[in-house]
Each structure stands twice: as C-alpha cells, then as structure tokens.
C-alpha cells in the first residue's frame, strides 16, 4: 500500500493525542526555536553594545586622565610664572636690562 501524506499525518497526530495536540506541539517547538534564535540575536547585540560601551569608557577615561594631567601641568606652569613675576617685583635689580 502506498504511503499517503494524509495517512502519515493522521498516524503522527494520533501519537500526540490528536490533530489539535499535534499542531499545538509543532507551534510550541517553533516558538521555542524562535525564542532561542531571538536570544542568540539579542545576546549577540548585547555583547556588541557592551563591547562598544567598554571601549568608549576606556577611551573617555584615558582622555580625561590626559586632560587632568595637562591641567595639572598648566597649573604648575602658572604658579611658577606667578612666583617668578613676584620675585622680579621684590628684586627689581635682578631683571635683565
């Protein structure tokens, strides 16, 4: 006897407790597969965003540290200049003519 698609369907459906349960099982499995695929995509996007964020954080931290160092050097230079000007005011004979 030839296997008919309908007969195969009814045989498998009966193994799951009928057509409604068979279709429900197919839907559940498809949803699980979709959720798993969605999780993989979501996690991949999350990893990418986290990676970009960490890189941006490190770069920003580095730039802020550099800027802080530059401000410190500028402050020291300003203080040194002010001290030299103050010293020149106190000892006008030491100035170059």
Digit-coded pLDDT (tens) for 59-85: 999 999 999 999 999 999 999 999 888
Cα 44 to chain centroid distance, Å, stands at: 10
> Where are the domains positioned within the chain?
10-89
Q: Is the pLDDT of residue 53 over 90?
A: no
Q: What is the spatial distance between Cα 72 and Cα 66, in angstroms, rounded to a whole number?
A: 10
> If pLDDT is split at 50, 70 and 90, which confidence band does 93 have?
low
Q: Give Cα separations from 88 to 36, 66, 75 (angstroms).
A: 77, 33, 20
Q: Is the pLDDT of residue 92 over 70?
A: no
Predicted TM-score (pTM) of the model is: 0.44
Q: Kindly report, residue by residue over 25-42, the tens digit of the pLDDT.
A: 888 888 888 888 888 888
Cα 47 to chain centroid distance, Å, stands at: 6
For the record, the structure tokens of 50 come out as 């986290």
């Amino acid at each position: 006897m030839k296997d008919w698609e309908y007969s195969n369907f009814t045989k498998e459906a009966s193994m799951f407790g009928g057509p409604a349960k068979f279709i429900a099982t197919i839907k559940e499995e498809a949803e699980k597969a979709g959720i798993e695929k969605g999780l993989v995509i979501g996690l991949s996007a999350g990893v990418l965003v986290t990676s970009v964020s960490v890189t941006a954080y490190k770069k920003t931290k580095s730039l802020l540290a550099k800027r802080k160092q530059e401000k410190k050097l500028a402050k020291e230079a300003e203080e040194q200049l002010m001290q030299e000007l103050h010293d020149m005011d106190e000892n006008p004979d030491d100035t170059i003519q």
